[in-house]
């Protein structure tokens, strides 16, 4: 087993409570169907429409982030891993501003607890592309194979795998088609203590 030396967390539905963004309503307002890749869709539009759709997207993300709260066990886990000097990062398809807003709602955690926050504001393709994981590994000064990518969605797992990282999927009892794709399956963040052998 390759040792895990750094942990890269997805944000929405992983470090924050599930349901932060109302995706069905967002898809409705953007005029796209379930299963379509939202960011790829917006990027494919002519520029004027992109601006319009991005405004809708930003509005949803800022509203959601204002009501986000720390997922169960997230703060304890992060503080514990910090104590163990394990570098931590966030990788999200969201923009940086709503992430920073959400983190304000975490009583014990702030952005300084993370060595890197990879967001849509970075100049490379979002998950499931490998780029963000590779970038984060570089900043955390570990090889990709020593990074554990933790997330609830298939893009998290694919991004980790595309970069050659290890992956842990959080099973929230939905999206069961993602089962058996990741190296590890957990049902809560506290399960990571065992995986990390801590």
Tell the residue number behind the tokens 């379509």, with chain if given.
Answer: 36
Per-residue contact string for residues 7-46; x = within reach of Mg ion by CB under 5 A? ---x-xx---------------------------------
| Residue number with CB closer to Mg ion (121 or 174) | 174
| Residue number with CB closer to Mg ion (12 or 158) | 12
| Residue number with CB closer to Mg ion (144 or 159) | 159
Q: Does 153 bind Mg ion (CB under 5 A)?
A: yes
Q: Does 178 bind Mg ion (CB under 5 A)?
A: no
- Among residues 152, 163, 192, 195, which is the contact residue for Mg ion, using CB under 5 A? 152
Of 3-11, 35-43, 159-167, 183-191: span binding Mg ion (CB under 5 A): 3-11
Three-class DSSP labels, the chain: CCCCCEEEECCCCCCECCCCCCHHHHHHHHCCCCCCCHHHHHHCCCHHHHHHHHHHHHHHHHHHHHCCCECCCHHHHHHHHHHCCCCEEEECCCCHHHHHHHHCCCCCCCHHHCCEEECCCCCCCCCCCCHHHHHHHHHHCCCHHHEEEEECCHHHHHHHHHHCCEEEEECCCCCHHHCCCCCEEECCHHHHHHHCCC
Per-residue contact string for residues 101-140; x = within reach of Mg ion by CB under 5 A? ----------------------------------------
In this chain, which residue has its C-beta nearest to Mg ion?
A: 13
Please report, as ranges, the residues that interact with Mg ion according to CB under 5 A: 10, 12-13, 152-153
């Amino acid at each position: 087993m390759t040792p895990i030396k750094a942990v890269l967390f997805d944000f929405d539905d992983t470090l924050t409570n599930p349901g932060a963004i109302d995706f069905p309503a967002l898809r409705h307002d953007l005029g796209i169907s379930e299963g379509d890749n939202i960011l790829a869709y917006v990027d494919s539009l002519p520029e004027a429409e992109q601006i319009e759709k991005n405004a809708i997207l930003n509005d949803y993300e800022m509203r959601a982030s204002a009501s986000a709260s720390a997922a169960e066990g997230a703060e304890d886990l992060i503080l514990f891993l910090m104590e163990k000097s394990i570098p931590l990062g966030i990788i999200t398809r969201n923009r940086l501003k709503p992430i920073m807003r959400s983190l304000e709602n975490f009583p014990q955690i702030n952005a300084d607890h993370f060595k890197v926050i990879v967001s849509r504001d970075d100049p490379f393709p979002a998950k499931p592309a490998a780029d963000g994981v590779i970038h984060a590994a570089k900043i955390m000064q570990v090889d990709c194979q020593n990074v554990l990518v933790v997330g609830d969605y298939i893009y998290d797992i694919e991004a980790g795998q595309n970069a050659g990282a290890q992956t842990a999927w959080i099973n929230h009892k939905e999206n069961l088609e993602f089962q058996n794709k990741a190296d590890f399956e957990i049902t809560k963040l506290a399960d990571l203590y065992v995986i990390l052998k801590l």
